[in-house]
Amino acid sequence: MQIVRHYSDPPNSSRGAVVAIGNFDGVHLGHQALLAHAGELAKARGAPLGVLVFEPHPQEFFKPQAECFRLTPLRTKARLLAQHGVQNLYALPFDAEMAGKSSSEFVADVLVRGIGARGVVVGADFRFGKGRTGDAAFLAEAGRHSGLAVDVFDPVRANGSDKISSSDIRKALRNAKPEEAADLLGHWWTIEGRVEHGAARGKTLGYPTANMRLDGYLKPAFGIYAVRATLVENEKPAALHCGVASLGIRPMFSTETPLLETFLFDFSGDLYGKHLAVELVAYLRPEMKFDTVEQLKAQMATDCEAAAAALDRAGVRC
């Protein structure tokens, strides 16, 4: 997949795509349906399939001090979009210049002259331009004047009624319901990152963990999770491992920065510096503080058994 970071003077190979526009946070089932529809249009027109997103997310630009809410940082989003046939990803910077563009300027400068879109697909609730004054109807009318084909896609609904939304997925994760989030996503929610050196307490206790920060991610409910982890090498999955993970601030050791600490059942070796993608499959319990290390070790053994049982019930194989 080709990633384009600027709309001015992009590579010729990135022009002429049918482009789906949106945030695509989570790349959930609704997004996947829109991508499938856009892919059919692209195939019919003999054009590549593209997606246009903004980095940073517009909410992060307007509210830089707000708590992180994202389900998928750019790297994870790009991987998921590639799995759904996206060939060109236009990850355009959302800055003061972009925020100040009128709806008409966005169509002319970015879509037509910039990335040279052959067609555009948006959801019915799409808004764009300074002050979010542009909508799908405006885009369709502007497209008729500029020769840009515009297709408006009706939202996919969960349970036949409610629109699938990233907000509902965030709510499920904050409420310790990863299974509910997965039902809307169409895949387990995943935290990806580099494994960092920690205090090595897990190794001392007999449960060596791969430690990862939550930078750039929504913070779900803290606690213990049954997980499946993928070791990623050269941007491709290399190996699957089942395990159990602690997500939070470790109340027994009073850490200020939340961490994801994953113990893999069937792995031995050095993971430091490696890229790991950890899927949250089931929530087992909240964080706890123990009086002694022996109590902690006994609970960790219990958590491993509970995680293995939860993964089995979910039909997860590693």
Instruction: Show the tokens assigned to 35.
Output: 């991508």
For residues 7 and 153, membership in a common domain is answered with yes
Per-residue pLDDT, 158: 66
- State how far the Cα of 51 lies from the Cα of 25, in Å rounded to an integer: 12
- Determine, yes or no, domain membership for 306: yes
Per-residue pLDDT, 160: 57
- State how far the Cα of 18 lies from the Cα of 46, in Å rounded to an integer: 9
Beta pairing, strands 190-194 & 275-285: antiparallel
Per-residue pLDDT, 59: 92
- State how far the Cα of 67 lies from the Cα of 64, in Å rounded to an integer: 8
Per-residue pLDDT, 217: 95
Phi and psi at residue 4, to the nearest 5°: -115, 125
| Cα radius of gyration (the chain) | 22
- State how far the Cα of 3 lies from the Cα of 13, in Å rounded to an integer: 11
Partners of 244 in beta bridges:
226, 263
- Determine, yes or no, domain membership for 140: yes
Cβ atoms of residues 111 and 120 within 8 Å: yes
Number of domains in the chain: 2
The residue among 113, 128, 158 that closes a domain is 158
- Determine, yes or no, domain membership for 67: yes
For the purposes of burial, counting CB atoms within 10 Å of the CB of 146, is it exposed (0-12), middle (13-18) or buried (19 or more)? middle
Q: Roughly what angle, to the nearest 10 degrees, separates helices 166-174 and 178-185? A: 160
For residues 9 and 151, membership in a common domain is answered with yes
- Determine, yes or no, domain membership for 131: yes
Cβ atoms of residues 47 and 18 within 8 Å: yes
**Residue 212's closest CA among 258, 260, 159?**
260
**Residue 18's closest CA among 53, 56, 45?**
45
Query: 231 lies in which domain range?
Result: 166-313
- Determine, yes or no, domain membership for 238: yes
Amino acid at 175: N
The residue among 109, 142, 158 that closes a domain is 158
For residues 174 and 113, membership in a common domain is answered with no
The residue among 139, 158, 177 that closes a domain is 158
For residues 131 and 183, membership in a common domain is answered with no
- Determine, yes or no, domain membership for 100: yes
Sign of the torsion formed by the C-alpha atoms of 283, 288, 293 and 298: negative
- Determine, yes or no, domain membership for 318: no
Q: What is the CATH number of the domain that holds 202?
A: 2.40.30.30
pLDDT tens digits for 169-228? Answer: 999 999 999 999 999 999 999 999 999 876 656 666 778 899 999 988 999 999 999 999
- State how far the Cα of 114 lies from the Cα of 117, in Å rounded to an integer: 8
For residues 19 and 71, membership in a common domain is answered with yes
For residues 153 and 170, membership in a common domain is answered with no
Which DSSP state fits 310? Answer: H
For residues 26 and 109, membership in a common domain is answered with yes
Cβ atoms of residues 110 and 50 within 8 Å: no
For residues 131 and 223, membership in a common domain is answered with no
Q: What is the CATH number of the domain that holds 91?
A: 3.40.50.620
For residues 134 and 251, membership in a common domain is answered with no
For residues 149 and 232, membership in a common domain is answered with no
For residues 34 and 127, membership in a common domain is answered with yes
For residues 258 and 208, membership in a common domain is answered with yes
Residues contacting 274, CB < 8 A, separation 6+: 194, 195, 210, 231, 232, 233
Cβ atoms of residues 83 and 185 within 8 Å: no
Q: Residues of the chain whose pLDDT is less than 50?
A: none
- State how far the Cα of 285 lies from the Cα of 266, in Å rounded to an integer: 22
Say what the pTM is.
0.90
Per-residue pLDDT, 317: 86
Per-residue pLDDT, 249: 86
Partners of 229 in beta bridges:
241, 278
Chain position carrying tokens 């790009």 = 78
Instruction: Show the tokens assigned to 157.
Output: 């609904």
